[in-house]
Structure 1
């Protein structure tokens, strides 16, 4: 089944296959990043954090266990339905469109694991940054954890197979019209599936232009989850801290 490219994330993220394909993500690395980030931002127990595009709540649950008051939001109703089983006082999950301001202000807003740059409409990227600004307390910080597009493109593997359980995912990657495309094909229970991820190949300069247009102020730029300096030629990530 082919998915509409204008809203691929809503359909793909809402399927169980998305979570099957990415089930082996590194939880230890995620925990290290959250520890480094919350320490760097000097966040204190019971400080409020919005986990924007939280998926099934992996980062939200860890942040809650570290003593923070966490709200996780995502456009995927299926992901939020799953995450809600873990709700407690100081850990909440809701379906929410990140282009729109959430009706609360936070000490920090985290947009993690390349959960930005999905939109076809450029204005939606700006709307998201404006929404993050609106969600921050005056002393709060926004964080966007994005891929380093230049390194990703340089190291792109055009074709690969990944077997997870009984499903063989056939993955094709390429760059088209300024987007990094990942086509995903597989068969399950006799039915053929096709999904396409599309992430805009945004650079540090692109984000600086967004921040200028939205009056957000870029404070720090890091290149990995240990918060080392960003180098466009070698860094795995592009981590932006702003307010």
Structure 2
């Protein structure tokens, strides 16, 4: 089992990241959909949707949304939000998406770069391209490789309730590895996250191989211009040729 298959399905993963800023996320989605000028009837896939916060908000904005995620527990949780224009399904992003062509696919908050094999990365881009209408948009919200390398904090402890998550980070080859240990429910737990430090050129190459053109890069959730040395994020906007 891959690290993301086991870690993402635990309650501890969601507890560790429970401080995520919903207001920031909603403001980002509002700015993004306005920038793309998506009509309210547009169909959007939220790829790697997690517990559905972006999918639900997109649906509230009037969009027809399909939320996809590998975690069965997350999808089961999300089923409570479903309606005629909001659906959730279990899906591996490397596999073809069996759905009518959509106007946009969003992959948000570093939900890419988990795979060791480059062919798996290519499969994601190809799957997304095949799911889009002509001139459809693919938004890949990714980490900024240069910023990560320059600001890495090797050791930290994050407390959530009664649990102290001890986190160590290091760069191994082309990956950033986050080691996570903690005590909970009378047991010692150990998980890790491993994300590939894709360069701008590598991402662009994957996109072009699959039939995309990169038309914009933003550097943060306020959609400011990207700076490779200082930007917190690397938010790629691709258009299907």
2:30 maps to 35
Q: Which runs of 5+ in 1 are unaligned?
A: none
Aligned-partner Cα distance in 1 for 2:88–2:177: 29
Aligned-partner Cα distance in 2 for 1:154–1:147: 12
**Coordinate RMSD, CA, aligned:** 0.9
1:182 maps to 178
- Match of 1:30, SS state, is helix
Match among 216, 220, 238 for residue 220 of structure 1 = 216
Counterparts of 1:1-243 in structure 2 under 5 Å?
Answer: 7-104=2-99, 105-242=101-238, 243=240
Q: Which runs of 5+ in 2 are unaligned?
A: none
* Alpha-carbon shift at residue 108 of structure 1 (Å): 0.4
Aligned-partner Cα distance in 2 for 1:189–1:76: 22
User: How many aligned residue pairs are there?
Assistant: 238
* Alpha-carbon shift at residue 32 of structure 1 (Å): 1.0
Aligned-partner Cα distance in 1 for 2:234–2:189: 32
- Match of 2:223, SS state, is coil
Where does structure 1 differ by over 4 angstroms across 4 or more consecutive aligned residues? Answer: none
- Match of 1:217, SS state, is strand
- Match of 1:45, SS state, is coil
Aligned-partner Cα distance in 2 for 1:119–1:233: 25
